[in-house]
Structure 1
Amino acid sequence: MAAIEQNPRITTAWSLMLLLSLASAGVLLQAFAQLDGNGFISIDCGLPGTVSYVDEETSLSYAPDAAFTDTGSNHDISDDYITPELSRIHRNVRSFPDGKRNCYTLRSLMAGSKYLVRATFKYGDYDRLSRPPIFDLYVGVNFMSEVNISDPDAVVILEAVVVVVDDVVQVCLVNTGTGTPFISGLELRPLKDSLYPQANATQGLLLLGRRNFGPTNKSDMVSQPKDPTPGYIAILHFAELQLLPANTLREFYINLNGKPWYSKPYSPTYLYTDTVYNTDTSRGPGRTKDIEDGYSDFGGRPAPAIGGFTRRYDISINATANSTLPPTINAIEVFSVVPTTNIGTDSKDRSKSNNTVKPQNELTGNGYGHSSLHLENRRFTYRKLEMITDGFQRVLGRGGFGYVYSGFLEDGTQVAVKLRSHSSNQGVKEFLAETHILTRIHHKNLVSMVGYCKDGEYMALVYEYMAEGTLQEHIAGSDHDERCLTWRQRLRIALESAQGLEYLHKGCNPPLIHRDVKATNILLNEKLEAKIADFGLSRAFGHNSDTHISTNTLVGTPGYVDPEYQATMQPAIKSDVCSFGVVLLELITGKPAILRDPEPTSIIQWARQRLARGDIEGVVDARLPSDDHNVNGVWKVADVALKCTAIASVQRPTMTDVVMQLQECLELEEGRASGNTTEGFVYTGSSGNLRLHYNHALLADLSAEVSQKNDGFPVDHNFGMLAAMMSTGPATR
């Protein structure tokens, strides 16, 4: 697919307003774009800071991109490519040297509406390597175009007309191994539903070329073609811009490759826009066509060909015998029809009210049950997996799905290959669920999928390699384990894991429930950065206001399962919160979710009983030196954990609350480590629904709480019954 290259004078006339959400302590938690009065979003990619600017030429506002993506780095292009005429948006870029796929998230859209998405790229030797890259551009999960930067001084523009399925859409750059992806600008414009009817929920339009012959008001360049068929669509725009004198007529025929395109003579109307289009669209095998306009009856010079197309596509407009004026044309647009894929939530996992799941992050359709995958991630054959894993030699771990093996791609990138065992109790449904979810959720604290394999009876997922393994491996270390995590490391891991879950609950619409949050599903890279993994059991809600979804199978892992979910068979957002509270207790204590000495006991009950007595040191991991942490800091995290594991889900905080509290805990710990704190202070907290003060009254309340709730949460947690109820779910993953 061809891109449009224009000179550095290119400018746009679009604008943006940005809304930032700040935590009470002054910490920036999350920023959301809010559309301006015209419904526009305009982003200057690579612009540092948080301050927008007004473009001098268009008088419209452009915003920095930090609120739209959390990966990549900012760069200025080389001074050699900066001229006074160059638009400000093209003077800097954001590049993405890490990861295969990096995305911008555009929010506050109108679900089911039509939008124009425009991405611009000016290389300008920003990396001082003089090697323009080639990479791919996706809108949502759908491939739109290859971005091929052949000239470092060119501005490459890609435009697509798409229908968004919900109030958010992601625009992603995918590394194809031929250079580091980058972007200069990203803009989004709403379109009337009547425009470009070829763009719908099943297909979009990619602009291959546009030639503007006259009007300067871009709002006049609209099209209303009908009867679309897949292939290439050429749209001609006409408007009479002169009030014609009496006894004059502008009338002409429109021909395509020598044949009538428009059956009757056409006469444009004064100050009224109209369009003509081809219904017999080209279906060439990946080849686009040149367009040339000819004024044959009047000796007009053909306009330059549009784009870098490979065959001629002749369009002529010829005056009729009755016409007293020459024909005119205002603009030509050529689009490629791009099929779009919408993937859905399992039809069994809908709320009892039978509300259809409202999609976001392209989680749409009627289920994971189809047998084919049409994803942008690389598809591996089983033979290829054998090659990259050297015959499945090195085992990294094992879960309910099967063994996980180490492998290396052709470029030397290390990956983890999770191969489904034929004896696994997880089947095609879970495999497809995880594959589809991982191609649609993107966050720095969620594991990234490199590719997948579905080759006959063989199924596998290929992930980014996480060098430090699972959090469970670090928690379960021996007393003299050199890998024993410090308290500060544990806090950071807790915060990063919480951020990943918060994204599933708040950054996705419909929200996603992980349903198997546990220490073995939190992976650590070489920097001990935490990422949530294993989405085979994840499910989506129908609406943000829903409280649960209905299932007929209890899934999860003993010791982490929400007791309310166990009793009602209705997993909810707060089920993940409960499981995360168990992970927090594991980080504090260094003990597993189920203690088996002298008999199976929930870590929740074990910790509650000791904390009720004020025995915080008896709860803290014995491997941690006494000078490694502050007791008050541990109390804070312990209180968050106990709130997360409250018996009634309504008493639990949200993951947003948890993120805020853990952020404060980490900041206080870092301040203590640097000497910027006072020993002995008592923290009173700032969250409205987390009581965080530590005194005798609290201990008395906590003791009473444990006494009152023993009947509702027995010491042995009834693990025998739980194991029997989990016949179709993994005991360990």
Structure 2
Amino acid sequence: MLCTYFAGFISLDCGLPSNSSYKNEVGYTYTSDDAYIDSGVSKQVAPVYRSKVPAMYQRLRIFPEYERNCYDITPVTAGKRYLVRASFMYGDYDGSFQPPRFDLYLGPDFWYSLSFDNATHAVWTEIIGKATSSSMSVCLVRTSNGGTPFISGLELRPLDDDIYAVAKSSDALITYKRIDTGSTRQQRFKDDPYDRIWTPDYNAYGAPRNTTESISFTKSFMLPQAVAQTAVVSIRPIVISWAAAAPSDRFHVFIYFSEVQRFPVPQTRNITITMNGQVFIDSFDLSYLRVTTIYTPDPLSEGNYTFSIWVTRRSTLGPILNAFEIYKTYSATGYATYGPDVDAITSIKAYYKVKRNWRGDPCLPKNIPWHGLGCNYDNISTPIITSIDLSNSELTGNITHLFSQLTALRTLNLSGNHLQGSIPDFFATMMSLTVIDLSNNELTGTVPKALQERAQNGTLQLRVTNNHLSEISTNSSANKMSNGVIRTVLVTCFIFLIV
């Protein structure tokens, strides 16, 4: 697999030609996404925009064919936290000036709804989540009348175990805001070792201040030096406010403070913070060149939020603010298709080199399984595979024994391929199977007697027309050949008769 690491990073330019790569301005490498997905079509943004946007936004991968299309980002370490960032710019690649709308999922769980104001509206969204296996899946899902989903870039950044550990380990954190106050430029790697994007806000929250001195911080938050070295001060309360989009939205907040200027001893700055008019943090003093972090150990669920940063009466200086982060949080469901079914269908995919949207979880999100699969959701946390349709899929080789590992399989359609060899005996022992369609292949030999008996007693619909089968032996009828191909007729009771 084509996979380039820089400090453990995976950086994909979606739509970049296969085996292509380039280095960005800080030196880490973006590679093609081709090895991480089996569907989609590469496109370029309209020529008028190509010279005006960064390299990652000059191309995109669109997904016109399937309802769900997933990337498998690998390798990752199960139990470790990662920051995953997806980036999008429509760029009028199709000349329609109609940006689409679609949804984004991390594995089986909803992440974000995408919409765009215009052709050059660039959108990125981040999520901090824990890997549950050796890969993480990012899926784009078509919505009703939303148009064709697309993606411009996909990035994965490993995080140390300590960072954001104060948030519940089961929670995924979706970046809502990450602001570097008093700064004039965006901060990323190498200033931030995790390549978090810090958006500059020079003077909206107060008057800018800065230092070139080194600032100390705790490992639990790893505030970048370049971010800690800038701040804003004010003679009035500094206010951070936002409104939840839905009543169920919950948030974690991290607010960072540090004195970036040394003052004479008589000068003091004693901070207090209120949320929606109530005391959030009583009062605390700041240390010169040392970060103090105020955070929410449990997610907030108030709906509307106003954090006001004040100073107490004993202060001679006004409030200060260096940076803040706001994350929307939700608990990952932990749902996953039944493990042995996942292993079996993944092995079947590899055996036949299936080129479809067969990435991510086979059955989840609910009712959006892999194309050609059917699933039973009676146990929504662990759905099972009940049907496979691989008809007209250019399959070659023998019928693999891997199908026998799908113990709840009811329907199997392998018609219209180039399968060879004999019909395997194991089908007769798969008692959940009620339909097998092997018609229009190149199969040889005979139909196993046990399968014939199940077809005759009505427990199985068996279709084998247009193969090179030599004979079918039954207890009740003779068999006649026509040009080496058995001709069968399926009657209404689903018993095959030889004519």
TM-score scaled to structure 1, two decimals? 0.44
CA RMSD of aligned residues (A): 5.1
Partner of 1:36: 5
Q: Is the 8 A contact 2:6 2:29 kept in 1?
A: no
2:443 is equivalent to residue 588 of structure 1? yes
Matches within 5 A, 1:157-306: 157-177=124-144, 178-197=146-165, 202-214=170-182, 216=187, 217-219=191-193, 224=220, 231-242=250-261, 249-270=268-289, 272-278=290-296, 281-283=299-301, 289=304
Read off the aligned partner of 2:154 and give its amino acid letter.
L
Once the two structures are TM-superposed, the CA of residue 236 in structure 1 deviates from its matched residue by 1.2
Q: Which runs of 5+ in 1 are unaligned?
A: 1-18, 21-32, 290-312, 351-356, 362-435, 472-488, 505-511, 532-556, 567-582, 601-606, 608-620, 625-733
Once the two structures are TM-superposed, the CA of residue 249 in structure 1 deviates from its matched residue by 4.4
Q: Distance in 2 between matches of 1:442 and 1:185?
A: 27
Once the two structures are TM-superposed, the CA of residue 119 in structure 1 deviates from its matched residue by 0.5
Q: Is the 8 A contact 2:86 2:151 kept in 1?
A: yes
> Can you list the C-alpha shifts for 1:438-494, whole angstroms capped at 9, x where unaligned?
227999986245x87869xxx999989x6xxx76xxxxxxxxxxxxxxxxx89x322
- Out of 107, 114, 128, which is 1:147 matched to? 114
Read off the aligned partner of 1:622 and give its amino acid letter.
G
Partner of 1:307: none
Q: Distance in 2 between matches of 1:102 and 1:530?
A: 27
Partner of 2:319: 327
> Can you list the C-alpha shifts for 1:593-621, whole angstroms capped at 9, x where unaligned?
448899x9xxxxxx9xxxxxxxxxxxxx9
Q: Distance in 2 between matches of 1:224 and 1:530?
A: 57
Once the two structures are TM-superposed, the CA of residue 181 in structure 1 deviates from its matched residue by 0.6
The structure-2 alpha-carbon separation of the partners of 1:453 and 1:278, relative to structure 1 and needing over 3 Å to count, comes to: closer
Q: Distance in 2 between matches of 1:335 and 1:235?
A: 9
Give percent identity, aligned residues only.
Answer: 28
Q: Distance in 2 between matches of 1:281 and 1:200?
A: 9
Partner of 1:340: 332
Structure 2 SS opposite 1:521: strand
Q: Distance in 2 between matches of 1:105 and 1:91?
A: 23
Structure 1 SS opposite 2:396: helix
Read off the aligned partner of 1:493 and give its amino acid letter.
L
- Out of 31, 35, 40, which is 1:67 matched to? 35
Q: Is the 8 A contact 1:71 1:444 kept in 2?
A: no
Q: Distance in 2 between matches of 1:334 and 1:108?
A: 29
Read off the aligned partner of 2:133 and give its amino acid letter.
D
The structure-2 alpha-carbon separation of the partners of 1:111 and 1:134, relative to structure 1 and needing over 3 Å to count, comes to: same
TM-score scaled to structure 2, two decimals? 0.62
Q: Is the 8 A contact 2:387 2:412 kept in 1?
A: no
Partner of 1:315: 307
> Can you list the C-alpha shifts for 1:611-635, whole angstroms capped at 9, x where unaligned?
xxxxxxxxxx9359xxxxxxxxxxx
Structure 2 SS opposite 1:622: coil
Q: Is the 8 A contact 2:43 2:59 kept in 1?
A: yes
Q: Is the 8 A contact 1:265 1:320 kept in 2?
A: no
Q: Distance in 2 between matches of 1:49 and 1:92?
A: 13
Q: Is the 8 A contact 1:109 1:167 kept in 2?
A: yes
Partner of 1:655: none
Partner of 1:480: none
Read off the aligned partner of 1:42 and give its amino acid letter.
S
- Out of 63, 81, 102, which is 1:96 matched to? 63
Once the two structures are TM-superposed, the CA of residue 135 in structure 1 deviates from its matched residue by 0.7
Q: Distance in 2 between matches of 1:463 and 1:330?
A: 56
The structure-2 alpha-carbon separation of the partners of 1:495 and 1:179, relative to structure 1 and needing over 3 Å to count, comes to: farther
Partner of 1:417: none
Partner of 1:53: 22
Structure 1 SS opposite 2:118: coil
Q: Which runs of 5+ in 2 are unaligned?
A: 197-217, 222-247, 347-360, 432-437, 456-468, 470-482, 487-499
Q: Distance in 2 between matches of 1:125 and 1:495?
A: 43
Structure 2 SS opposite 1:67: helix
Once the two structures are TM-superposed, the CA of residue 261 in structure 1 deviates from its matched residue by 2.0
The structure-2 alpha-carbon separation of the partners of 1:269 and 1:186, relative to structure 1 and needing over 3 Å to count, comes to: farther
Read off the aligned partner of 1:438 and give its amino acid letter.
C
Matches within 5 A, 1:465-504: 492-494=394-396
Read off the aligned partner of 2:94 and give its amino acid letter.
D
Q: Is the 8 A contact 1:81 1:124 kept in 2?
A: yes
The structure-2 alpha-carbon separation of the partners of 1:199 and 1:514, relative to structure 1 and needing over 3 Å to count, comes to: farther
Read off the aligned partner of 2:327 and give its amino acid letter.
F
Q: Distance in 2 between matches of 1:497 and 1:329?
A: 66
Q: Is the 8 A contact 1:122 1:156 kept in 2?
A: yes
Partner of 1:622: 484
Q: Distance in 2 between matches of 1:445 and 1:167?
A: 20
Once the two structures are TM-superposed, the CA of residue 193 in structure 1 deviates from its matched residue by 1.8
Structure 1 SS opposite 2:321: coil
Read off the aligned partner of 1:118 and give its amino acid letter.
R
* Structure with the larger helix share: 1
2:393 is equivalent to residue 514 of structure 1? no
Once the two structures are TM-superposed, the CA of residue 134 in structure 1 deviates from its matched residue by 1.0
Read off the aligned partner of 2:406 and give its amino acid letter.
H
> Can you list the C-alpha shifts for 1:637-682, whole angstroms capped at 9, x where unaligned?
xxxxxxxxxxxxxxxxxxxxxxxxxxxxxxxxxxxxxxxxxxxxxx
Partner of 2:85: 118
Read off the aligned partner of 2:180 and give its amino acid letter.
N
The structure-2 alpha-carbon separation of the partners of 1:137 and 1:230, relative to structure 1 and needing over 3 Å to count, comes to: closer
> Can you list the C-alpha shifts for 1:561-592, whole angstroms capped at 9, x where unaligned?
699x99xxxxxxxxxxxxxxxx89x8431743
Q: Distance in 1 between matches of 2:16 and 2:272?
A: 49
Read off the aligned partner of 1:340 and give its amino acid letter.
A
Q: How many residues align?
A: 384
Q: Is the 8 A contact 2:362 2:370 kept in 1?
A: no
